[in-house]
Amino acid sequence: MQIPKAMVVERIRTAGGAEAADRADAELPEKVDTDRDAELLRRFELDPAELAEGLGGQSPAVG
Q: What is the pLDDT of residues 15-48, one digit of tens each?
A: 878 999 999 999 999 999 999 999 999 999 999 9
Which region, left, alpha or beta, applies to residue 12 given φ > 0 means left and ψ of -120 to 50 means alpha? alpha
The number of beta carbons lying within 10 Å of the beta carbon of residue 36 is 13
Kindly state the helix (H) or strand (E) to which residue 4 belongs, with its residue range: strand 2-4
Least confident range from 10-19, 35-44, 52-61: namely 52-61
pLDDT surpassing 80 at residue 59: no
Domain count for the chain: 1
Residue 58: pLDDT band (50, 70, 90) is low
Q: Is residue 7 in some structural domain?
A: yes
Helices (H), 2-61: 5-16, 18-27, 38-43, 48-53
The boundaries of the domain holding residue 27 are 2-53
Is residue 8 within 8 A of residue 51, CB to CB? The reply is yes
This model's pTM is above 0.75? yes
Assigned domain for 26 exists = yes
